[in-house]
Chains A and B, each alone.
Chain A
Amino acid sequence: MDFEDTEAEAAFRAAVRAFIRGAGANFVPAPNATEAEIVGLARRWQAARADAGYAGFGLPESIGGRPGSMMEEIIFLQEQRQHPLAMVEIMTLGTGMALPTIIAHGRPDHLELVGRSTLRGDVVWCQLFSEPGAGSDLAGISTSAVADGDRWIVNGQKVWTSGAYYADWGLLLARTDASVPKHKGLTYFLLDMRSPGVLVRPLKQLGGRSEFNEVFLTDVSIPDRLRIGSVGAAWTVAMTTLSNERLALSGDAAVSRNLLAPLLRLAARTPSLDGRSLLEDSAFRERLASYHAAVAGVEHIAARISTAIARGGNPGAEATIGKMTLTRWLQSMATFGIELAGVAGAVVDPDADPDLYEVQQGFFLAPGYRMGGGTEEIGKNIIAERVLGLPPDIRVDKDVPFNHIGRGNTAEPRSPR
Chain B
Amino acid sequence: MNLDFSEDQKAAADELRRVLADYPGLKSSRAALESRAAFDRTLWQRLGELGWLGAAIPRQHGGQELGLEMLCLVAGEIGRSMAAVPFGSSILIAAEAVKMAGTQGQQRAYLPALASGKSIGAFAVAESAGALAPQSMRASFDGGRLTGTKIAVSDGMIADLLIVLARRAGELGLFVIESSDAGVHREAQVGIDPSHAPAKIRFEAARAEPLSALAGWEGVRRLLDRAAVAVAFEQVGAADAALEMAAEYAKTRRAFGRLIGSFQVVKHKLADIFIAIELARANGFYAAWALQANDASLSLAAATARVSATEALERAARELIQVHGGIGVTWEHDCHLFYRRAQHFGVMLGSLREWQDRVAAQLQSANSGTRR
A residues lining the B interface (CB < 8 Å): 1-5, 9, 71, 260-261, 264, 268, 279, 282, 284-286, 288-290, 292-294, 296-301, 303-304, 306-308, 310-311, 318, 321, 324-325, 377, 379-381, 383-385, 387-394
Contacts and interface: CB of A to CB of B under 8 A. Distances in A.
Residue among B3, B251, B274 with the most chain A CB within 10 A? Answer: B3
Residue among B1, B3, B280, B308 with the most chain A CB within 10 A? Answer: B1
Nearest to A264: B367
B247 A392 contact: no
Interface residues of B, number: 52
B267 interface: yes
Nearest to A383: B271
B264 A3 contact: no
B308 A391 contact: no
A2 B2 contact: yes
Contact of A310 (B2, B251, B271, B359): B2
Given A383-B271, A384-B270, A289 B357 contact: yes
Given A297-B279, A300-B3, A292 B247 contact: no
B268 A380 contact: yes
Given A261-B367, A301-B282, A321 B5 contact: no
B261 interface: yes
Interface stretch (B28-36, B111-119, B177-185, B284-292): B284-292
Contact of A297 (B267, B278, B303): B278
Contacts of B363: 260, 264, 288-289, 292
A380 B272 CA distance: 8
A194 to B, nearest CB: 42
A119 to B, nearest CB: 26
A388 B311 contact: no
A293 B307 contact: yes
A294 B279 contact: yes
A303 B282 contact: yes
Given A286-B357, A385-B267, A390-B267, 6 more contacts: A289-B355, A298-B282, A300-B282, A303-B1, A325-B275, A389-B251
B3 A321 contact: no
Contact of A321 (B266, B278, B357): B278
Nearest to B7: A311
A171 to B, nearest CB: 28
25 contacts: A3-B3, A5-B1, A260-B363, A288-B359, A288-B363, A290-B311, A292-B363, A293-B311, A294-B279, A296-B283, A297-B283, A298-B279, A303-B286, A307-B3, A325-B275, A381-B268, A385-B267, A388-B243, A388-B247, A388-B274, A390-B261, A390-B266, A391-B261, A391-B262, A393-B267
Closest A-B pairs by Cβ, 4 of them: A297-B279, A384-B267, A300-B282, A289-B356
A297 B308 contact: yes
Interface in B274-328: 274-275, 278-280, 282-283, 285-286, 288-289, 292-293, 303-304, 307-308, 311
Nearest to A303: B3
B330 interface: no
Given A292-B363, A297-B279, A383 B357 contact: no
Contacts, number: 168
B282 to A, nearest CB: 4
Contacts of B1: 3-5, 9, 71, 303, 306-307, 310
Nearest to A313: B4
B82 interface: no
Contacts of B157: none
Interface string B151-172: 0000000000000000000000
A293 B276 CA distance: 10
B357 A301 contact: no
B3 A282 contact: no
Nearest to B261: A390
A10 to B, nearest CB: 11
A379 B69 CA distance: 32
B44 to A, nearest CB: 29
Nearest to B258: A394
Contact of B247 (A2, A4, A390): A390
A324 B279 CA distance: 12
B278 A390 contact: no
A383 B282 contact: no
A203 to B, nearest CB: 29
Residue among A299, A300, A308 with the most chain B CB within 10 A? Answer: A300
A292 B359 contact: yes
Interface string B253-269: 00000110111101110
Interface string B1-28: 1111100000000000000000000000
Contacts of A321: 275, 278-279
A318 B2 CA distance: 17
A260 B280 CA distance: 19
